Amino acid sequence: MDPRFSPEVGKIMQLANQEAHCLNHEYIGTEHVLLGLVRHADNVAAKFLRDRGIDVRVIRAEVEKLVRSGPDMVTAHKLPMTPRTKRAIELALEESVALGHQGAGPEHLLLGLLREGDGVAAQVLAELGLGLAETRRKVADVHPGIRDGADKPASEPIIAPPITFSLAELETATDLTSQPSTAILRILDASSNRAAEGLRVVEDYLRFVLDDPLLTEEAKTLRHDLASAVELLGRDQLVASRDIPGDVGVDIKTETETRREHPAEVLAANLHRAAQALRSLGEYSKIIAPQVAPRFEAIRYHVYQLESTIAASRDGAARLADVRLYVLADGRESPDAFIAFVDALLAAGVHAIQLRDKNLSDRELLDRGRALRERITRFGARTLFILNDRPDLAVLCDADGVHVGQEELTVADARKIVGPRKLVGVSTHSLDQARQAVLDGANYIGVGPTFPSATKEFAEFPGVALLKDVAAATRLPAFAIGGITLDNLDRVLATGIGRAAVSGAIASAADPAEAVRKWLARLESKTP
């Protein structure tokens, strides 16, 4: 081991590397070294600072006044030192020699940071009232040297060898880094493998069973994020620690592991496998690389969200599998007129009715909703009942779900009110909005406006191009909305969107029931 440095300095540099990562900095500056020094509490310098009321919280607050966090996460594991940091280490060596000490320790590093003078660490220490002479006297008192005049450097120049090494070389040359135990590395290796394998199985399910490009992309992104995080642990050392013949868990199997009866069981098992492995990665990585642990935690929460998104997508696909025609109905001019209208729709076999009326009072809207639920029950129909924009009233009138727009409640907020079993639909007007609705856990989406409509005004019409993009991006049930008629329906169906939400085309028809039958015939004839 290089006698110029004590083992504590190596640990401090490890902590400095972590602090740089936490601030998204691509270098180790004097500020990171100072933070590492006070975090490594069991040393003379840190105790000296604590006695003066200077702890890691105080230092961090002062550092954050002078430097900002970087915009992006840093992926490199070991970061280079800045010239000022190297200079501070040179000065630490000089102080060690001048004081007659055997090797540079944390106390000499503190002196080096003070003597360097221009770095962030020196500015912070000056702001906190720490002086070089006082600190040098304290170091001399704690560690009496073999030379006199410890309150000042030696009269003759004492030049330490130039520092030309990187952080990695410092750790290697001075043998300062305490190597993680093989057991910890084996845990991290096994857990990273389990997490990656689980995510790959999930990705295959989304790709081949659900045939969903968007969700497949999400799973693939998580898998790549995991690989990037594992690289920060040092993938080579994880692989080198592997001991398959000596692993007592290799031959341990449970009965449920050897049998799966449905792809959905495979999906559920591997979502849980990935999440559990990520938890293990997050916990054990704190021992050797605390700066990486938050990445594993973030990926784990994304896995939980992906599980919820998949569940909503599968639920929507199952419950709307045969739903092609979705009619938007207002409350009509009276309760009797409303009942007559919905009876006509139900008699014709409409698949879904959304009650949407901005002009009714809450009580009137609730009464219409309860009437619609009663008529569906009386007809014995499988028609879905969706209430627009009001999850609270949807619960009171026992609707099958609620539909929200871009400026109304979020999917998450609507779900808090209606619960997990009711459908939540979202209106989307761009591909980004459609993608977000899927990831937010919507059960279905409305996509448009496709054409100008007499019932609702829009500044822009993304048209059939948006329908085509959405059809290619996701398998979540999607209904084309906006100005759709029997005359332009074929243009809609040609995009790959096989569902339509209509209002005026049915509501203004002389015979709404006959209009529904014509729409159903056209839609069902085009169903793949």
Q: In whole numbers, what is the pLDDT of the chain averaged over residues?
A: 86
User: Does residue 223 have a pLDDT over 90?
Assistant: yes
Average pLDDT over residues 81-104: 81
> Domain boundary at 298, 316, 334, which?
316
Give the domain CATH number at 42.
1.10.1780.10
Give the domain CATH number at 459.
3.20.20.70
* pLDDT tens sequence across 120-169: 888 888 888 888 887 777 777 666 544 444 444 433 433 444 433 344 44
* pLDDT tens sequence across 439-460: 999 999 999 999 987 666 666 7
Same domain for 305 and 229, yes or no, is yes
Same domain for 324 and 304, yes or no, is no
Q: What are the backbone angles phi and psi of residue 444, rounded to the nearest 5°?
A: -160, 165
Q: How far is CA 9 from CA 3, 83, 107, in A?
A: 12, 18, 9
> Domain boundary at 316, 340, 360, which?
316
In which domain, by residue range, is 124 found? Answer: 7-173
Return the closest-CA partner of residue 495 out of 461, 524, 527, 470. 470
Cα–Cα distance, 272 to 199 (Å, whole number): 10
Confidence at residue 245, expressed as pLDDT on a 0 to 100 scale:
80
Confidence at residue 176, expressed as pLDDT on a 0 to 100 scale:
35
> Domain boundary at 274, 301, 316, which?
316
Same domain for 11 and 41, yes or no, is yes
User: Does residue 484 have a pLDDT over 90?
Assistant: yes
Average pLDDT over residues 176-192: 78
Same domain for 125 and 239, yes or no, is no
Residue 2, domain member (yes or no) = no
What are residue 384's DSSP bridge partners? 352
Give the domain CATH number at 239.
1.20.1260
Q: Model pTM?
A: 0.69
User: Does residue 246 have a pLDDT over 90?
Assistant: no
Residue 43's SS3 state is coil
Tell the residue number behind the tokens 């550092």, with chain if given: 63
Same domain for 58 and 123, yes or no, is yes
DSSP 462: -
Tell the residue number behind the tokens 């085509």, with chain if given: 468
SS (H, E, C) 177-230: CCCCCHHHHHHHHHHHHHHHHHHHHHHHHHHHHCCCHHHHHHHHHHHHHHHHHH
Same domain for 288 and 415, yes or no, is no
Q: Which residues contact 105 (CB under 8 A, 6 or more apart)?
A: 5, 6, 8, 9, 43, 44, 45, 96
Higher pLDDT among residues 78 and 420, named by residue:
420
Same domain for 326 and 279, yes or no, is no
Same domain for 253 and 305, yes or no, is yes
* pLDDT tens sequence across 275-297: 999 999 999 998 888 878 899 99
Confidence at residue 455, expressed as pLDDT on a 0 to 100 scale:
62
Same domain for 311 and 325, yes or no, is no
Q: Which residues contact 308 (CB under 8 A, 6 or more apart)?
A: 441
Confidence at residue 255, expressed as pLDDT on a 0 to 100 scale:
63
| Number of domains within the chain | 3
Same domain for 310 and 379, yes or no, is no
